[in-house]
């Protein structure tokens, strides 16, 4: 049987332990980031998304005070990179370089990733689709003439992809403008398309500014319509689709996202650090070199809304064009 004194001593011991527990410093949450961050791209070294990712990382890694490394996962039109990302923990240490090509893959259900699996963080480039014509061989010279011609005639649209942003842009534009349906002619790349456009092999080329900048400067290619919210500074006289009365906005976009489930505080840190890194003159100079402006960089709110809008419109357009959409 415990004595009264034993009970007192026991009570003093317990009290001492309680006081010690209260005095001990609290266990701190893991500081983020505390190790290197993977940036997963679908492009090989030197590809557009690979270069954009590396340019973003130049200053962002300094803001993070941790290294960032590119992980190239090629194949499946972007599906390999998406599938790999889905195998990684949702802890913020894997960032996915999300492009318009991936959004098209998501719209068609071609990977294990779905729209519900991604959380957009920051946009890195916003390169509007432009409908361009040969200055010398097209049957129209002005945007107004192009619209009138397209109401009465089937127009051939040269693209560099099938089932992606280029032909979807053409389908959406012709549909909303009340024009005859587009006839799509695919080419292997922007250079081949631009050459054939100059020669008059197609009426319209769906291109980005950087893909035809040299031919525009030479007076061989004439931009007709910009599919953007506002006119582009390098070609200020070219109207947007909205200027003409048609609500069509499509861009070749690149940005960054993480898997759903990454703690919100880590998502906010990634967003803030990336935005600061991409506001630096190094990244801004990169944008200028490819014909883009500082408006390309945007935070999670703008980027997230754009991703959803592109996904919804691409999914509908692909269905209408006869592509299999799961």
Answer yes or no: is pLDDT of 55 > 50: yes
Helix (H, G, I), strand (E, B) or coil at 122: strand
pLDDT in tens, 161-191: 777 889 889 999 999 999 999 999 999 888 8
* Distance, CA of 78 to CA of 82 (rounded, Å): 7
Architecture category of domain 37-126+252-320 in CATH: 3-Layer(aba) Sandwich (3.40)
| pLDDT at 24 (0 to 100) | 45
pLDDT in tens, 260-273: 999 999 999 999 99
Answer yes or no: is pLDDT of 277 > 60: yes
Answer yes or no: is pLDDT of 41 > 90: yes
Mean pLDDT within 149-159: 97
Which residues pair with residue 127 across a beta bridge? 252
Q: Which residues contact 13 (CB under 8 A, 6 or more apart)?
A: none
Query: HSE-up of 214 (CA within 13 Å, CB side)?
Result: 6
| pLDDT at 319 (0 to 100) | 82
Ramachandran class of 222: left when φ > 0, alpha when ψ lies in -120 to 50, beta otherwise: beta
pLDDT in tens, 76-121: 888 899 999 999 999 999 999 999 989 988 988 888 899 999 999 9
* Distance, CA of 90 to CA of 163 (rounded, Å): 30
* Cβ 221 vs Cβ 198: under 8 Å: yes
| pLDDT at 241 (0 to 100) | 97
Token look-up 């030479």 returns: 218
Binning pLDDT at 50, 70 and 90, where does residue 210 land?
confident
Q: Which residues contact 222 (CB under 8 A, 6 or more apart)?
A: 132, 133, 134, 135, 138, 141, 216
Architecture category of domain 127-227 in CATH: 3-Layer(aba) Sandwich (3.40)
Two domains, one topology: 37-126+252-320 and 127-227: yes
> What is the average pLDDT value for the chain, to the nearest integer?
89
| pLDDT at 46 (0 to 100) | 82
| pLDDT at 21 (0 to 100) | 43
Delimit the domains of the chain by residue range: 37-126+252-320, 127-227
Q: Tokens representing 294?
A: 């500082």
Mean pLDDT within 302-317: 91
Answer yes or no: is pLDDT of 226 > 90: yes
* Distance, CA of 259 to CA of 96 (rounded, Å): 8
The verdict on whether omega for the bond into residue 184 sits within 30 degrees of 0, i.e. cis, is no
Binning pLDDT at 50, 70 and 90, where does residue 219 land?
very high
Answer yes or no: is pLDDT of 159 > 70: yes
* Distance, CA of 219 to CA of 265 (rounded, Å): 51
- pTM of the predicted model, to two decimals? 0.80
Answer yes or no: is pLDDT of 323 > 80: no
| pLDDT at 29 (0 to 100) | 56
Q: Is the dihedral of CA 67, 292, 290, 123 positive or negative?
A: positive
Binning pLDDT at 50, 70 and 90, where does residue 19 land?
very low
- In sequence order, which ranges of the chain are alpha helices (DSSP H)? 4-23, 48-64, 79-87, 100-108, 143-152, 165-176, 190-199, 209-217, 264-279, 281-289, 300-320
Percent of the chain having pLDDT more than 90? 68
């Amino acid at each position: 049987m415990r004595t009264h004194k034993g009970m007192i001593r026991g009570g003093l011991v317990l009290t001492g332990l309680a006081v010690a527990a209260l005095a001990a410093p609290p266990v701190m949450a893991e500081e983020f980031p505390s190790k290197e961050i993977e940036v997963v791209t679908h492009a090989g070294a030197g590809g557009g998304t690979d270069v954009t990712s590396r340019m973003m990382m130049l200053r962002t890694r300094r803001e993070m005070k941790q290294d960032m490394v590119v992980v190239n996962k090629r194949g499946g039109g972007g599906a390999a990179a998406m599938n790999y990302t889905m195998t990684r923990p949702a802890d913020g240490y894997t960032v996915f370089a999300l492009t318009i090509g991936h959004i098209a893959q998501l719209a068609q259900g071609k990977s294990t990733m779905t729209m519900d699996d991604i959380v957009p963080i920051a946009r890195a480039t916003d390169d509007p689709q432009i409908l361009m014509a040969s200055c010398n061989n097209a049957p129209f010279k002005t945007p107004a003439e192009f619209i009138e011609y397209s109401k009465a005639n089937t127009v051939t649209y040269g693209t560099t992809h099938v089932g992606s942003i280029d032909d979807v842009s053409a389908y959406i534009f012709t549909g909303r403008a009340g024009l005859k349906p587009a006839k799509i002619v695919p080419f292997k790349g922007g250079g081949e398309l631009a050459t054939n456009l100059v020669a008059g092999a197609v009426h319209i080329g769906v291109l980005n500014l950087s893909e035809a900048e040299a031919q525009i400067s030479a007076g061989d290619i004439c931009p007709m319509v910009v599919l953007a919210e506002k006119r582009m500074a390098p070609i200020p006289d070219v109207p947007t689709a909205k200027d003409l009365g048609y609500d069509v906005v499509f861009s070749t976009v690149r940005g960054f996202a993480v898997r759903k489930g990454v703690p919100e505080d880590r998502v906010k840190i990634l967003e803030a650090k990336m935005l600061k890194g991409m506001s630096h003159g190094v990244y801004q100079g990169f944008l200028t070199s490819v014909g883009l402006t500082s408006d390309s960089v945007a935070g999670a709110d703008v980027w997230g809304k754009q991703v959803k809008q592109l996904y919804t419109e691409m999914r509908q357009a692909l269905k209408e064009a006869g592509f299999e959409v799961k």
